[in-house]
Chain A
Amino acid sequence: MPDTLVALYVFVLACFIGYYVIWGVTPSLHTPLVALTNAISGIVIVGALLVTGLDEVGTTAEIMGFFAVLLASINVFGGFLVTNRMLAMFKKDKKKQ
């Protein structure tokens, strides 16, 4: 099976996982969900690292890669930290326990 088809298999199956996992998320956490998905879509940083870190990379590609690394890292750090900050605010009523 060619690589592109394998990738398609992975993609379609991951879509199904996404579908079932996301429907399980409680509506009260939809804002943290958006922030968390923001953070994990920072995974494009992997692509940015591969472009920038290539041994015989040219200057143009290297500069593009640098900006991609920069933007994706803002996503990764900003996304996870702001999600953490929000989730820390969700508390149960202590009086009822």
Chain B
Amino acid sequence: MELSVNAQAIAYLISAILFILALKGLTHPSTARRGNYLGMAGMALAIGATLLGAEVQSYGFIIAGVVAGAVIGSVLAARIQMTAMPQLVAALHSFVGMAAVLVAIGTFINKQAADALNPVLMGELSAGVIIGAITFTGSVIAFGKLQGIISGKPVKFSGQHQLNAIIALVTLGLGIHFAMTGSVWSLALMTLLAFVIGVTLIIPIGGADMPVIVSMLNSYSGWAAAATGFTLGNNLLIIVGALVGFSGAILSFIMCRAMNRSIINVVFGGFGGETGGGESAAATAHEKGVKSASVEDAVYWMEDANRVIIIPGYGMAVAQAQHALKELMELLEAKGVEVKFGVHPVAGRMPGHMNVLLAEADIPYDHVQEMDEINPDFPSTDVVLVVGANDVVNPAAKSDSSSPIYGMPILEAGKARNVYFLKRSMRPGYSGVDNLLFYQDNCSLVFGDAKETIEGMVTALKGGGH
């Protein structure tokens, strides 16, 4: 059976609709899984329609590639730890980028052999190669930073932005030259330089800006797919590319807004990095006039509370404390305490990271609330437990106009009656800014590993001898 061109076009249209419905499914957790299945159906339809079309005639390499890819992809998906999700996502972005580059160059070779090249096509090819190559190396660097292979510190040197601008202009020039002349040398050099741009674009960005970078590369991978669609004259690729490109762009915007920074500032700012420091935590705290509290103090207030709000941050993921938190939640609920989780948009290393980790620990999603939703509840809350978050509860963002984080929307934990801040040391948050919340009368620090501290609370609650 061979599909006619028109039948194939109709199949692609249905596939595009299925993808739109798939994304629409993510409007609510109750419809999300169905959405994902619609996405799978859309993909199966697209692949089937392509294979049955007149253009695909030899199948050996295709079958080998799909089978190998299916095995690798399935194993990755089944084995990956939820804390490592940002790394997986970065790796997958790099694959889309590289695939786009290979498709563009492969198309060039095929069209050249068929003597079917023209300047418009070659211009589209250049766009595919440049965006794909930047996505590839950029994602590889992001992966390295997330995995800890490359230092999370921003790499900066003087004249960096000027150098980047020059490389970008030369790359663009080569792209135009290639489109006009079809020179293979221009194509090769342009590809190489685009790979370099991916690296130089991402190395100056600090490890803590990763939520924005992950979103941004998500967007690039979409634009790479769209450019491939233009090259091949394939509307399905164009539609999907636009959807994915906008998805990443909107996520980048949401992340930047949640930090009160512009995307330009993130890309060119080189903010933050991991600061060192290992002085005796309690001693430093005492010196600064910060109160410290024991696990028992915190438990004493929590078990008699009406409402406890837990604020998780990246530190919770590092300590793998989410499962202990679930147990704490259940014990408190058994005592009639209302327990809620408040999540800041940039908590973690990618958008929505905390929500997935809490869901992994079986914490129902209706207990987890977003910043705007939960902020009005703080003044009537008895105890707030901050687990591995820092800057996102810093009142300096509201009160200190000289602070680098001034203007950033925060979770207003300081308005609660008691705040217990679980901390490993007095190290500041990624912004390097001192947290003014520590000096408030209602705030105490509980020093130690987040997971051990919460397990201690669980044991104390089980003991229940007050």
Contacts and interface: CB of A to CB of B under 8 A. Distances in A.
Contacts of A34: 89, 214-215, 218, 247-248, 251, 350-352
B253 to A, nearest CB: 10
Contacts of A46: 46-47, 50, 232, 234, 236-237
Contacts of A22: 23, 243, 246-247, 250-251
Nearest to B230: A7
Contact of B70 (A52, A63, A73): A73
Nearest to A46: B50
B168 interface: no
Contact of A41 (B65, B78, B103, B244): B244
Interface in B12-61: 16, 19-20, 22-24, 26-30, 32-33, 35-36, 39-40, 42-43, 46-47, 50-51, 55-59, 61
Interface string B308-322: 000000000000000
| Size class of the contact patch on chain B | 35 or more
Which of B78, B95, B218 has the most C-beta atoms of chain A within 10 angstroms of its own C-beta? B95
A25 B26 contact: yes
A78 B96 CA distance: 12
Contacts of A56: 113
A37 to B, nearest CB: 4
Interface string B428-450: 00000000000000000000000
Given A36-B23, A80-B40, A86 B102 contact: no
Contact of B73 (A19, A33, A81, A85): A81
Interface in B366-409: 366-368, 370
B57 A53 contact: yes
Contacts of B238: 7, 10-11, 14
A28 B355 contact: yes
Contacts of B93: 38
B195 to A, nearest CB: 15
Interface stretch (B220-228, B297-305, B417-425): B220-228
Contact of A83 (B36, B68, B221): B36
Given A38-B221, A43-B237, A89-B360, A53 B33 contact: no
A70 B231 CA distance: 20
Interface in A3-54: 3-4, 7, 10-11, 14-15, 17-19, 21-54
7 closest pairs, A vs B, by CB?
A: A73-B69, A30-B352, A77-B73, A69-B65, A53-B56, A18-B246, A78-B73
Given A7-B238, A71-B69, 10 more contacts: A10-B239, A14-B239, A37-B221, A38-B89, A43-B237, A52-B58, A53-B55, A70-B69, A75-B92, A77-B70
Interface of A: 3-4, 7, 10-11, 14-15, 17-19, 21-58, 60-94, 96
Interface of B: 16, 19-20, 22-24, 26-30, 32-33, 35-36, 39-40, 42-43, 46-47, 50-51, 55-59, 61-62, 64-66, 68-70, 72-74, 76-78, 80, 82, 85, 88-89, 92-93, 95-96, 98-100, 102-103, 105-107, 109-110, 113, 120, 124, 214-215, 218, 221-222, 224-226, 228-248, 250-251, 254, 343, 345, 350-353, 355-356, 359-360, 362, 364-368, 370
